[in-house]
Chains A and B, each alone.
Chain A
């Protein structure tokens, strides 16, 4: 069965510092991995995805994520955090051969000025 874990409910980081939001997954086939961001009272916005190819994926707003097959992880990163990055972040996985996307419980990122 597919599953996604976001082990941290909240991550606090100072503005200008690098940030990491963690995600691990479990699928039986090849994973398709996604990160989304949600601002207050809004729907989710797509940030980036891993399908195949390079393990380091670059996305919107300066975010990137590294696919690590051996550790079954897909952590979201940004070299220098902005206060405006403060939001709720969701990791999602889809197993090849299925329509369903499984979402993590979300990590609230707080960037402090």
Chain B
């Protein structure tokens, strides 16, 4: 079992839908990253969380430390949101990554 599990692995939705991507981890962590990777391969940091909830534009990230679970939500999804979304947790000095969720938003 991976230390960081994401679900779903693939998600296809229509433009405008509300999207939720989940991340569960099995180890104690100091912080959790949500990252976005576009087809060209570049990675953008969306959020870093250690507690509670953060919002940036149409993106919302929440974390429940006790349950070792985080969610990334996208409201009013748009085709440009199509990307791979990766959850990563700091364990000691390194980031441990989930396998990613491939999101496709159709117009």
The answer to whether A and B interact is no
Binding site for B on A (CB under 8 A): none
Binding site for A on B (CB under 8 A): none
